[in-house]
Structure 1
């Protein structure tokens, strides 16, 4: 069973706050802790942003890949 330190449902935030909330939540994680991101589309642009800002600092694992719901487990290394 997966346990998450935090769950972010990105659909509950206005567009200009989504990435801010996600990155603030990620920064608050301790190493090896995970957050669950829930979204209504594939968060590929967010993954590119993680690659740019935390190239070796996270793991990205799809839990659900659409078509209407995407869930991603993001673990801080």
Structure 2
């Protein structure tokens, strides 16, 4: 499954990189994002704009104060 650590990417460029990675995935795959904050704005953006984003299967966990790991699944249909 694709994994993208965006903590070293300038914030202004993060969403573009994430969208590129998500677009390149096959249906049924999940993109794992490692971020320095909970990616709620990204979740809402993808839920509103990306029909293939399976928002019901989205998960996020906080592993450290500056480490959030979010799973962005791509629906199979």
TM-score band, normalised by the shorter chain?
A: 0.7 to 0.9
* Cα distance between partner residues in 1 of 2:53 and 2:37: 24
* Cα distance between partner residues in 2 of 1:19 and 1:52: 14
Match 1:76 to one of 54, 64, 74: 74
Unaligned runs of 5+ in 2: none
Moved segments of 4+, more than 3 Å = none
Shift of 1:42: 0.6
Aligned length: 72
1:21 aligns with 2:35: no
In structure 2, the partner of 1:52 is: 48
Q: Equivalent residue of 2:43, what SS? A: helix
Could you tell me the TM-score, scaled by structure 1's length?
A: 0.82
In structure 1, the partner of 2:34 is: 38
Q: CA RMSD in A?
A: 1.5
Q: Deviations over 1:13-54 (max 9, x none)?
A: 112210000001001111001111001111111011011112
Could you tell me the TM-score, scaled by structure 2's length?
A: 0.82
